Structure 1
């Protein structure tokens, strides 16, 4: 009963983590009404009048068509396996086995799993690195153009994947990046898991669909009033009719492979209700109120000297703990003991997600707690982070599916130089894949990892899995 007891426990004073509905405060109204009905009444199979994401008739098909029309998309599919499952669907719909796909280093691991499932060849491009925070920044159009040209010089690509906004609320110049990919005839799959609300207020960047992305995946628990695991895949309306039809068929084949045959009616309703509410007049007003609180909080924190990163999303508060002389993971542990639970701790930063209904007490309580944190743990700013020696463009030497499934041995990192990685390695910092299966561990990366072990004891594994000789 330990899990049930945890779920029934009184929440802490300040929950600044996902889902964005904030423990129910910002649930879409229709979804809230559903959850207040008799327990379990919504746990239904794909009855004819309900249908499912791949059915041509029924309430789900009607809701998907309405969502596509609402956002100006060609098609829309709801998912019950989170944005992770729909990113894999989009990837498999755009590329055939053996084809190369260009992805950024800050890709979600589900995309690596999608490459494995589809036997695709990932080509990873590096991103600008901020030494002060230890964070990767969005690609600039100029850097993306260089990576794209270099990748194409080595062989054809099937598709490009972009991530915007990032977990921390950093947004790329999407219209320019998408246009560059389209100049080469390449479709763009956008991981917009954290950006379902983009484009709905002048203070926010444009959405992926408005920027011309071909496929856009949104998580409806990260920036809308949906439940965890509810997500949506949109097909943009820019391509010609014949290509759109072929792509729709490919998406539905991939959905058939990767999504459950018994989708949760509750999660499908969550997708429909949260999208409809977010784009309604009431939903936009709710978003405006949340943005106003986020901007007011930022102002208060800046006035008391709390260093914050500039973000494109006022609902993501990225506190630069390194500038206060505090490891972000230690800051997170200290705050959690005092009832403030943030979303994402990293060595140089701590990101709080305000959600769509931030409690007004956040304006009073968070500044107080951060002042106390600085007095308790603060000091001289931490030394700058060293960028890992990642090549601008990297392609696994051994096919991903072979490296991941090959016999493996574990070696100390210092002894792994020259060997082929058999697992992803995502150290702190940076928290994105320094190595993916099939990449050879060069001497520079092995030496960098050994150095980071000394700087961050306990946060980087002593050993790494490599392909057995």
Structure 2
């Protein structure tokens, strides 16, 4: 089957990203644009259009308007996803040789930025939910303990990165965390890729965006948590802790010099959809529909886990001794396609589309899976990762990644230094980064993880020769 043929199909329940649901909930103006003569929107940085780093033109005016409407100082549209803007942010925050404090459930793009930026990632452990195998949220006292341990490493820490909400939709109380970082006179970057729609502030019971709580830099993926096209993203900046010139210089280093006009238009339209009354009305309707769906499924004994994002459903497959990865395949066979299959769960992203016919179909498919599985396996807890409260790679990431290497089996790698980043994707959370030592506890844990992620974690690892 050719790629174009595959892309043309649309006969499934689309419970995966991008959040526009295969075009069903794209902003009205963007839909109109796409209905015009094909390719009419494929334009370069013409004088009237400009680009994210050009001071004049439609893009510059749009960015100024978006920043003003959201209530921040500056913003930059991105065409390389949240990845490109997270990496640009890190390079703007720290110089080569400095360190950045970040949680273990950081996205791999931030480790990559450390790798080519000559930065040291100081990684801190986070709470772990053993019943499902997920990293979880933490509070200010946890972060205070992290700072105490981080000082013992005697590194020049330039900034802190926080992740909120998580891929599965867990959200922390960000205000005290941001205040704690600022109490150490450090800027904070929040990877809010999965929380873009929180800027709408349409309901008091939803988590608040870090933008409203004083974060210095916040990155949103506009296709994960807003109705934007894939690769569209935005970086928001406020306050005086980060120099806008450094941000723009870093963006210029990492982003294409020929940004897609279509993606830039998608950035504008998806942000407006979150802050204008008509878009907010649609979003509120989708949230209410999602809550109704969740209540229906729970009332019919579908094991959903609680989170902070009503637009994400977490099916707790391991409660019945089932792998989310295997359950995902069975849902796909029934034309219900989820977003994130993990060993203990399967996460569905409802996005901004309506799914009114889903309730009974979901229950029927789940019951068919339970009946056909005949699983006699008892529920067991997932083993907590053997991470220290705070740690850093023994060798610099960049020099380790570029070193001569040899490939050895995981069981033979004890005491060796990795040149690899071991990272099941999605969700893109590194289990091992270049420069880290493979001690016995880590190796034993990785071997166990390989049993859960057989197609994502190799039995071999590349180490410095």
TM-score normalised by the shorter chain: which range applies? Answer: over 0.9
What is aligned with 1:97?
Answer: 96
Match of 2:38 in 1: 39
Q: CA deviation at 1:458?
A: 5.4
Conserved? CA contact 1:102–1:123, under 8 Å: yes
Per the alignment, residue 189 of structure 1 pairs with: 189
Q: Deviations over 1:378-429 (max 9, x none)?
A: 6455211111211111101110000001011111111100000111123699
Contact 1:192 1:218 in 2 (8 A): yes
Q: Is contact 2:340–2:427 with CA below 8 Å preserved after alignment?
A: no
Q: Which residue is equivalent to 2:357?
A: 361
Tell me the residue number matched to 1:205: 207
Counterparts of 1:453 and 1:62, CA distance in 2: 49
Classify the secondary structure of the residue corresponding to 1:145.
Answer: helix
- Counterpart of 2:20 in structure 1 is 21
1:290 is aligned to 286
- Which sits farther off after the overlay, 430-439 or 380-389? 430-439
Could you tell me which residue of structure 2 aligns to residue 160 of structure 1? Answer: 160
Give SS of 1:194's match. helix
Q: CA deviation at 1:434?
A: 2.3
Distance 1:140 1:177 in 2: 7
Deviation at 1:68, TM superposition (A): 0.1
Q: Quick one: which of 219, 222, 225 aligns to 2:221?
A: 219
1:414 aligns with 2:416: no
Q: CA deviation at 1:12?
A: 2.9
The residue aligned with 2:273 is 277
2:236 equivalent in structure 1: 234
Confirm whether residue 62 of structure 1 aligns to residue 58 of structure 2: no
The Cα offsets for residues 41-90 of structure 1, whole Å up to 9 and x where unpaired, read as 00001111100001111000010000000111110000000000000011
Distance, in Å, in 2 between the alignment partners of 1:292 and 1:215 is 30
How far 1:116 moved relative to its partner?
Answer: 1.3
- Higher mean C-alpha deviation, range 375-384 or range 91-100: 375-384
Counterpart contact for 1:90–1:189, Cα < 8 Å: yes
Equivalent in the alignment of 1:388: 385
The question of whether the paired residues in 1 share the 8 Å contact of 2:167 and 2:427 is answered with: no
**Distance in 2 of aligned mates of 1:463 and 1:158:** 35
CA distance in 2, matches of 1:251, 1:462: 40
> What residue number does 1:133 align with?
132
Q: CA deviation at 1:450?
A: 3.0
Contact map agreement 1:286 1:357 (CA 8 A) in 2: no
Separation in 2 of the partners of 1:118 and 1:57?
Answer: 30
**1:175-199 Cα distance to aligned partner (Å, 9 max, x none):** 1111110000111111111111113
Q: Contact 1:22–1:356 (CA<8 Å) still a contact in 2? A: yes
Q: Distance in 2 between matches of 1:43 and 1:213?
A: 35
Out of 225-234 and 444-453, give the one that drifted further. 444-453
Q: Determine if contact 1:347/1:428 at 8 Å carries over to the other structure.
A: no
Alpha-carbon separation, structure 2, partners of 1:32 and 1:109? 33
Give aligned pairs, total. Answer: 461
SS class of match (2:235): strand
Distance verdict in 2 for CA 1:392–1:319, change over 3 Å: same
Matched, 1:432 2:434: no
Tell whether 2:460 aligns with 1:463: yes
C-alpha distance in 2 between matches for 1:281 and 1:103: 36
Q: Structure 1 residues 97 and 378 mapped into 2: Cα distance closer, same or farther (>3 Å)?
A: farther
- Displacement after TM superposition at 1:153 (Å): 3.5
Alignment of 1:199-348 (within 5 A): 199-236=201-238, 239-240=239-240, 243=241, 247-348=243-344
How do residues 73-88 of structure 1 correspond to structure 2 at under 5 angstroms? 73-88=72-87
Partner of 2:147: 148
Cα distance in 2 for residues equivalent to 1:265 and 1:427 = 32
Equivalents in 2 of 1:430, 1:77: separation in Å?
25
In structure 1, C-alpha distance between the alignment counterparts of 2:48 and 2:423, rounded to whole Å:
45
Measured in 2, the distance between the counterparts of 1:261 and 1:296 equals 45
Q: Could you tell me how far apart the structure 2 residues matched to 1:353 and 1:370 are?
A: 17
Contact 1:205 1:312 in 2 (8 A): yes
Q: In 2, are the aligned partners of 1:43 and 1:264 still within 8 Å (CA)?
A: yes
Larger deviation, residues 133-142 vs 46-55: 133-142
Question: Unpaired segments of 5 or more residues in structure 1?
Answer: none
CA contact (8 A) 1:423 1:466 kept: yes
CA contact (8 A) 2:343 2:452 kept: no
Verify the 8 A CA contact 1:326 1:378 in the aligned structure 2.
Answer: no
CA root-mean-square deviation: 1.7
Q: Cα 1:186–1:172, aligned 2, differ >3 Å: closer, same or farther?
A: same
State which drifts further: 294-303 or 346-355. Answer: 294-303
Q: Which has the larger displacement, 96-105 or 197-206?
A: 197-206
Q: TM-score, normalised by structure 2?
A: 0.96
Aligned to 1:350: 346
Preserved CA contact (<8 Å) 1:453 1:462: yes
